[in-house]
Amino acid sequence: MTVATPVEERKTGAEQIVWDLSVFYAGIDDPALEQDMKRVSQMAEAFAAEYKGKVDSLDAEGLMDAMTAMDAITDLGGRIGSFAGLLYSVDTVNPQYGALIQKVTEFGSQINQKLVFWELEWNALDEAKAAALLADPTITPFRHKLESDRRFKPFQLSEIEEQLLMEKSVTGRSAWTRLFTQLIAAIRVDWEGAHITLTQALTKLHDADADVRKRAGAAITTALKGKSMELSYIFNVLAADKASEDARRQYPSWISYRNLDNKAPDAVVEALIKAVTSNYDIVARHYALKRRMLGLDKLTENDRYAPLKIASADHFYSWEEARDVVLKAFQAFHPDFAAAAKRFFDENWIHAPVLPGKRGGAFCSYTVASAHPFVFLNYEGKARDVMTLAHELGHGIHAYLSGKAHGNVGMSTPLTTAEMASTFGERLVFRDLMANEPDPAARLAMLAQKIEDSFATVFRQVSMNRFEDGYHNARRTQGELPADKLSSIWLQTQRAMFGDSVELSDDYGAWWSYIPHFLNTPGYVYAYAFGELLVLALFKLYEARGAAFVPQFMGVLEAGDSDWPEAILAKVGVDLTDLTFWNQGLDAIRELVAEEEKLAKEVYGL
């Protein structure tokens, strides 16, 4: 007889799966590390000596030479930075690693200061001259980089104005966002006689006990309302600060800068928002079902994350099983997709175990084109961990393919398309796990989790974008906004999403005030929805077109950041400005909810 042990204590087989960083350096004491830092410094100085003040006199060959020299600096500097960062991530308490990362960060900043002239001078070139250079076939490998660097040119101010804005932002925008961060971190929520942090209190919304959730919700509201004067003032100051800078730069709207930064045309973002807001009924359908599965008369804002009562054991996946599941799913998609993933396992490009001092979570580090990507995990053997492995390997494959094809300049895509291979890979594996799980209750648990994850990235982010839109536009037309006004914009945009499936009380009106994205990176949130729906829609195309789609998609991945995203995606016949494209992604979520309804019937008899 075997006694089941908790997942945390079980051996996964991932204990010995650690990465080999020797592609960079033999170790922290490798003398090559110090020598390379000196070399990068010399290369940056030589670059500045050669090109500073002379960018406008370069012909196409000269421009190509300069970009090649810059790329060599990026590559060698990137090797040093990647090595230090990866070492540190698996042992953050090692003082030697901490000191190295600090040294490398300061070193990087010094190098950047030497090179900052390049982009300013390149952007200062007049249109006709730049267009002629960009049309020259000599600079093909760097064309998109050079072209896209110039997209901010129409909104740039004079050098002295730019310097002033940069300098004043330290005591302006940055100071206000830091105050916000500190205020939120210092908030204490009353909980059973103790004072807990906001993060701890928010976790209680996942509690199985409805009464715990209700009391947690009320305590959070009280804590947020206690700071509403300070928080609404900060929101007002930062909206006004953004409005005045946008006006100076002549950006047409509050979101223009973000769209430009994301390489996402306004029309594309508008189509995305419209598609998502027209499909809010999907959210209502899931929560109406959830209410019945939980056996409650009504769902309130405090029950959104309530766990389902499902009596099925979480399937345990050893490292070897996880590897096989992922490679099998990838192989069925395309041999090259699996072959690239296989290198990560065979050549020790993965760090998998949970270790003391190791960072939490998971990521893929692209590093540089002359090396290869690395995958970082904390593998514990849950179904979720298997999907995370597929996700990070997807990033790895994307970087591996685009790095091989286009080098460092074509390797990292903008945020909106960065999750293309990762989410796609995750979905391939999710589909297999679902198909191979015989227990309907386990399937229902997996599916409900997947649906709420999708909601968090698609619907919640877009409803938050609607709040931002209301908030910035109201500040621009109505002047300073009282907390009540911000609360009413929040409630209106959130009620629009939930319909009558979740009862949002007026108290929930205060819950806009702790979300850091609104202040740290205005306009950021829709990019999550963009990435997720893009992949869901692409997956639909895959299911419809089958084998014909596969090489096209591989081509998209290989293209990396070598062209505008809409141009790359046009190669698979996708028009991002087309509402029906985005609707296909939403249909995929709708189908998941329909499947959830079917399974709920089976499991709960609903």
Residues that bind Zn ion (CB under 5 A): 419, 422
Which residues are registered as beta bridge partners of 376? Answer: 351, 363
Identity of the residue, 402 or 513, whose beta carbon is nearer to Zn ion in the bound complex: 402
Which long-range contacts (C-beta less than 8 Å, at least 24 apart) are formed by 166-169?
none
How many secondary structure helices (H) and strands (E) does the chain include? Answer: 27, 5
Which residues are registered as beta bridge partners of 364? Answer: 375
Q: Degrees (nearest 5) of the Cα angle 509, 513, 517?
A: 125
Identity of the residue, 51 or 376, whose beta carbon is nearer to Zn ion in the bound complex: 376
Neighbours of 282 (CB within 10 A): 23
> What is the nearest approach in angstroms of Zn ion to the Cβ of residue 206?
22
> What is the nearest approach in angstroms of Zn ion to the Cβ of residue 362?
8
Q: Which two tokens stand for residue 8?
A: 């945390």
> What is the nearest approach in angstroms of Zn ion to the Cβ of residue 2?
36
> What is the nearest approach in angstroms of Zn ion to the Cβ of residue 337?
16
Identity of the residue, 282 or 340, whose beta carbon is nearer to Zn ion in the bound complex: 340
Identity of the residue, 273 or 399, whose beta carbon is nearer to Zn ion in the bound complex: 399
Identity of the residue, 419 or 561, whose beta carbon is nearer to Zn ion in the bound complex: 419
**Radius of gyration of the CA atoms of the chain, in A:** 26
Around 505, how many Cα atoms within 13 Å sit in the side-chain half-sphere?
11
Identity of the residue, 420 or 593, whose beta carbon is nearer to Zn ion in the bound complex: 420
Q: Which two tokens stand for residue 122?
A: 């390149």
CB neighbour list of residue 377: distance below 8 Å, 6 or more residues apart: 14, 350, 351, 352, 362, 385, 388, 389, 392
> What is the nearest approach in angstroms of Zn ion to the Cβ of residue 575?
25
Alpha-carbon separation of residue 92 from 51, 86, 97, 354, 473 (angstroms): 39, 10, 7, 13, 43
Amino acid type, 105: T
Q: Where does residue 157 fall: left (phi above 0), alpha (psi -120 to 50 degrees), or beta otherwise?
A: beta
> What is the nearest approach in angstroms of Zn ion to the Cβ of residue 576?
20
Identity of the residue, 262 or 422, whose beta carbon is nearer to Zn ion in the bound complex: 422
> What is the nearest approach in angstroms of Zn ion to the Cβ of residue 515?
21
Identity of the residue, 425 or 470, whose beta carbon is nearer to Zn ion in the bound complex: 425
Beta-strand relationship, 374-376 and 350-351: parallel
> What is the nearest approach in angstroms of Zn ion to the Cβ of residue 383?
18
Which residues are registered as beta bridge partners of 351? Answer: 376
In order, the DSSP letters of 363-409 are: EEE---TTS--EEE----S-HHHHHHHHHHHHHHHHHHHHHHHHTGG
Amino acid type, 249: R
Q: Which helix (H) or strand (E) holds 84?
A: helix 60-90
d(CA 378, CA 354): 5
> What is the nearest approach in angstroms of Zn ion to the Cβ of residue 395?
6
Identity of the residue, 420 or 599, whose beta carbon is nearer to Zn ion in the bound complex: 420
> What is the nearest approach in angstroms of Zn ion to the Cβ of residue 329?
17
> What is the nearest approach in angstroms of Zn ion to the Cβ of residue 17?
20
Q: For the stretch 567-598, what's the b/e string if a residue is b when 16 or more beta carbons lie within 10 angstroms of its beta carbon?
A: ebbeebebebeeeebbbbbbbbbbebbeebee
Identity of the residue, 408 or 422, whose beta carbon is nearer to Zn ion in the bound complex: 422
Residue whose CB is nearest to Zn ion in the complex, by number: 422
Identity of the residue, 419 or 596, whose beta carbon is nearer to Zn ion in the bound complex: 419
Around 280, how many Cα atoms within 13 Å sit in the side-chain half-sphere?
19
> What is the nearest approach in angstroms of Zn ion to the Cβ of residue 422?
4
Which residue's entry shows tokens 């990019």? Answer: 527
d(CA 167, CA 178): 16
Strand order in the sheet with 374-376: 350-351, 374-376, 363-365
Helix (H, G, I), strand (E, B) or coil at 312: coil
> What is the nearest approach in angstroms of Zn ion to the Cβ of residue 423?
7
Identity of the residue, 55 or 399, whose beta carbon is nearer to Zn ion in the bound complex: 399
Identity of the residue, 100 or 322, whose beta carbon is nearer to Zn ion in the bound complex: 322
Identity of the residue, 357 or 361, whose beta carbon is nearer to Zn ion in the bound complex: 361
Please, what sign has the CA dihedral across residues 166, 171, 176, 179? positive
> What is the nearest approach in angstroms of Zn ion to the Cβ of residue 591?
23
> Can you give the length of the chain in residues?
606
